[in-house]
Chain A
Amino acid sequence: MAKIRGAVVVDVEACKGCSVCVVACPSQVLDLAKEVNGKGYNYSYMKNPEACIGCENCAIVCPDGVITVYKVKVA
């Protein structure tokens, strides 16, 4: 059966750490990092990358538009 795998890239320096993406993810992929970016925000990152299905939910709710989403079908 074809399986979907996704991945996101967060523009770490542009992330404001609002965590709206974290709660929007249906697969609990994202979390805020313990570390902060140059502006002092705990940025969003894929804590659980294997679970990502590339649904774009996180990206479309991100107010700052800093998430890019990729998706592949794997056999």
Chain B
Amino acid sequence: MAEITLKDIIKEENLVYKRSKIMTNKTLSYCPGCGHGTAHQIIAHTIQDMGIQEQTIGVSPVGCSVLMYDFLDLDIQQAAHGRAPAVATAIKRLMPDKFVFTYQGDGDLAAIGTAETIHACNRGENITIVFINNGIYGMTGGQMAPTTLAGMPTSTSPYGRDTSMMGNPLKITELLAMLPGTYYVTRQAVHTPRAVRQTKKAIRKAFENQKLNRGVSFVEIVSNCNSGWKLPPVKANEWMVENMFPFYPLGDMKVDGELVNK
């Protein structure tokens, strides 16, 4: 066959991937290469694929993703720092037929909001929680988070996290998997195409589960914070693979209410 030009390929009928229409036209406020953006794209595609825009209510946290309501074309409530699971509890209890999800950072979910997180999970609220663990407080400029690795420097642990003084990094997801109120608990990432595909499956399952009314579906996404880690995006992802993944290993912890033995 004769030479095929770009013009021949770039045609509507050959389209295989484009940004979800659940994403608004606003430029994401995230730093270049930040996993928050990728996680947003995945959630948007999932809601689009499931055709549930009209049935979905999101809850945004306090953290870099506070403005999630600017980026996802959904009805969204912005919650006080750490309180998203309580807000989502009420929304879901009052509208049990809707799909309700929270989107929270590690400071939001695992420090100031620990009580709200644990109790929403323990009550088995029929909601989806998306947890972005970047091991740091991104929004406020890179302070230590409950998830900050031992020895990891942050602006409030400038010589590295000294666990004898500052406590140990908190594996809250493992903790939540132990609760009878969680139905699906998994840890994923969004730094490579393969990881994105896995995460998309996990998010889909976490939303589909709401139809079963069996409890919380919890998806942790181990993510980068290039600004907080003071690394360029690709380097940050490499650092994440080398340092975060050994402590926060990826994979399912609980599926269909059953703990996964590893």
Do chains A and B make direct contact within the complex (CB under 8 angstroms)? Answer: yes
Question: Which of A5, A49, A66 meets B19, CB within 8 Å?
Answer: A66
Q: Which of B7-15, B80-88, B142-150, B205-213 contacts A (4 or more CB under 8 A)?
A: B7-15
Binding site for A on B (CB under 8 A): 1, 4, 6, 8-11, 14-20, 23, 27-28, 30-38, 40-41, 44, 190-193, 196-197, 200, 232-234, 237
A30 at the interface (CB under 8 A from B): no
Interface 0/1 of A19-62, CB less than 8 Å to B: 11011100000000000000001000000010000111101111
Interchain CB contact under 8 A, B4 and A5:
yes
Binding site for B on A (CB under 8 A): 5-7, 9, 14, 16-20, 22-24, 41, 49, 54-57, 59-72, 74-75
Q: Which residues of A contact B6 (CB under 8 A)?
A: 7, 49
Interchain CB contact under 8 A, A20 and B17:
no
Q: Which residues of A contact B16 (CB under 8 A)?
A: 6, 54, 56, 69-71
Question: Which of A20, A66, A68, A74 meets B233, CB within 8 Å?
Answer: A20
In the complex formed, the residue of A with least CB distance to B199 is A60
Interchain CB contact under 8 A, B193 and A57:
yes
Interchain CB contact under 8 A, A19 and B234:
yes
CA distance A23 to B139 in the complex (A): 27
Q: Which residues of A contact B28 (CB under 8 A)?
A: 63-64
CA distance A49 to B191 in the complex (A): 24
Interchain CB contact under 8 A, B35 and A24:
no
In the complex formed, the residue of B with least CB distance to A17 is B32
Question: Which of B32, B36, B41, B190 meets A18, CB within 8 Å?
Answer: B32
Interchain CB contact under 8 A, B233 and A19:
yes
CA distance A26 to B200 in the complex (A): 20
Q: Which residues of B contact A66 (CB under 8 A)?
A: 19
8 pairs from A and B in contact (CB 8 Å cutoff):
A5-B9, A9-B10, A16-B33, A23-B234, A59-B17, A60-B193, A63-B30, A63-B37
Given contacts A61-B190, A68-B19, 4 further A-B contacts (CB under 8 A): A17-B32, A56-B16, A63-B38, A68-B17
Q: Which residues of A contact B1 (CB under 8 A)?
A: 74-75
Interchain CB contact under 8 A, B17 and A60:
yes
CA distance A57 to B192 in the complex (A): 8
CA distance A41 to B32 in the complex (A): 9
